[in-house]
Chain A
Amino acid sequence: MKPIRSSALQLGLVSCHDCHLLSRRPKTLGHGAAHCPRCGGELHQRKSNSIARTWALVLAAMVFYIPANVLPMTITSAVGTVSADTIMSGVIYFMQHGSWEIALVIFTASVFVPFLKFIILIYLLLSVQFKWVKQPKNLTRLYRFTEAVGRWSMLDIYVVTILVALVKLGFLANIEAGPAALYFALVVVTTMIAAESFDPRLIWDVVEKKHE
């Protein structure tokens, strides 16, 4: 494949997000909506307000991350005793009971992956804003990675809902979802939208600007 060494932006073209059709940049782009001639999707040269939107969502997710980890995820009551479990105490429970594989899975999905996503997204944002782009290919790889792993954080939410549904009235123990579950769900949803709002083409725009 022989590429023409230019980006769509430089050639006055715009690529549709939805169907990838390349079309001439309409004059109205940026002033009101322009639509793709093939699929009718809205055209943007770059995802709109990518940087500001991603920052806002990452910061919001970081705020939600605190109650998600501090407050109890599940509240178990069994014959008179009530115990509240946070994400970490759940992980520790599994470690003490010999299921370290499960402990590792939960720790990775619920604690490590969201944290890693914050770090990577902030790093990407700063790189674009301050034009610290040395290895654009690696930055793009990091972006792809964040986009792919984020959804696995939903795991703990599902476990809580399954436990609540299964251990119900009539049984000696009762499990309820704690307040952390909602905050945690918010962390997952906001980081997923944050990754979606970041436009990796901005990384390459920095490189192209430097060469011009």
Chain B
Amino acid sequence: MMQQIACHECDLIHDIPPMPARAAARCVRCGAVLFRTRANSIDRTLAWTIAGLVLYVVGVSFPFLAMKNGPIYNETGLLTGIQLLFEQGIIPLATLVFLTCVLIPLIQMLGLLYIFVPLKLNIRVQYAKPVFRLFKHVKPWSMMEIYMLGILVSIVKLGKMATIIPGLAVIAFGLLIFVLNFALSSVDTHMVWERLEGDS
């Protein structure tokens, strides 16, 4: 039997045709993308993910903004900022920022490594399937690019009160947004599930 797929937005069944290496199949009825194929998915995803992790470490550990007003000099990084929110008792917001900008992007990248390193080496690891499912579910909650826009708005907002000096982390974050996006878009989901199919 030829393999079939149902559109996840309108449930129409399609046959899966032989696909070229870099193409998207769309639903004929509602236009949703059924799936995409990627050239060199494994190598590309790994390369972008490793680059992303390096940028992530820089982005998280260096200050992203410093504020100077006469003798007063304040600087804040992502983690110190969140810690400060915790100390001020704004726990729900601090948790939300921590999840969406620190933890979930990290889970995404580590999850990709956990799936793609074994695929590259042709070995099998436990829990690959639940990890890949989790990877799909956390995706909408990774919001670094919005945080980046937030940094820009804050620079404008405080620009009249003091001198704002963007730190190294801003550059790292800026790059990370693109790199993480490239990593995510080089994942060939269909291929990964087929490769994981035999695992238990």
Indicate whether A3 reaches chain B with its CB closer than 8 angstroms: yes
Would you call B60 an interface residue if the criterion is a C-beta within 8 Å of the partner chain's C-beta atoms? Answer: no
Shortest A130–chain B CB gap in Å is 19
* Distance, CA A8 to CA B137, complexed state (A): 23
A6 pairs with B93, CB closer than 8 A: no
Q: Report the bound CA distance from A155 to B96 in whole Å.
A: 12
Asked whether A15 lies within 8 Å of B88 as measured between CB atoms, the reply is no
User: Within 8 Å of chain B (Cβ to Cβ): is A53?
Assistant: no
The chain A residue sitting closest to B66, CB to CB, is A166
Q: When chains A and B are docked, how far (Å) is the Cα of A196 from the Cα of B96?
A: 18
Q: Is B30 within 8 A of A162, CB to CB?
A: no
A46 to B136, CA, bound (A): 18
Q: Provide the bound-state CA to CA distance between A181 and B150, in Å.
A: 14
- What 4 additional pairs, Cβ within 8 angstroms, besides A102-B153, A158-B150, A162-B81? A1-B14, A1-B17, A6-B12, A13-B6
| A/B interface sample: 8 pairs, CB < 8 A | A8-B13, A19-B189, A20-B35, A22-B5, A144-B9, A147-B140, A163-B154, A171-B72
Contact indicator A201/B9 (Cβ below 8 Å): yes
| Docked-complex contact B93 and A4, CB < 8 angstroms | no
Partner of A159, one of B153, B160, B190: B153
Residues of A within 8 A of B30 (CB): 136-137, 140, 200, 204
Q: Which residues of B contact A168 (CB under 8 A)?
A: 74, 84
- B71-87 residues with Cβ-Cβ distance < 8 A to A are 72, 74, 76, 80-82, 84-85
> Which chain A residues lie closer than 8 Å to B150 at the CB level?
155, 157-159, 161-162
